[in-house]
Amino acid sequence: MPTVLRVVAWAATPYTGPEMVQNSFFRKYPCHARRARDYVTEKTGAKVFNQREFSNSQPDLKMLMASSPEFDFPVEHKPDNVIPYGLIMRPVPPVAQVDPELHTWLVRGPTVFINLGTLSGTSEDQAVEMAQAIRLLLAGWREKGEGGRLQILWKPKQTLRVC
């Protein structure tokens, strides 16, 4: 019998409000997800579960998680069937080679990088709230007399408005 795997992504967390509507749309029209699951099953013999099946507790089911418990969340006990494998990153050339202008900006001082993920959109209200939080962060940095110029790197993904 083939090994059964469950691949769990950050996106597997439950949503509320408007995200539920968006999420239900993607469940109904899963784009390439179904083909990808079928391909993995065909090539490996493993069954890949989707988000709906995430909440079904199955202790004999091995779960691969794209996370590192030490960084993502404090846990006192990790079940034996949960296998965190860390980040999946492609090798990339140094920033100085790819974008010298960005490299020059980055070396000016400490940088806070805000990355909400590719699945996250930002509404106007959320962007304003984030900007207010950034303002507080910068004010706190100046108040404490921390050295260097703190800079923020954030490129919010614009959420489409449905009229």
Task: Spell out the domain ranges in the chain.
Answer: 5-84, 95-154
> pLDDT digit string (tens) for 38-70?
887 888 877 776 656 656 666 677 777 777 766
C-beta of residue 47 within 8 angstroms of C-beta of residue 37: no
Quick one: average pLDDT of 129-133?
92
What are the pLDDT digits (tens) for 97-107? Answer: 999 999 999 99
Q: Can you tell me the mean pLDDT for 26-40?
A: 66
Beta strands in the chain (DSSP E): 5-8, 62-65, 82-84, 111-114, 151-154
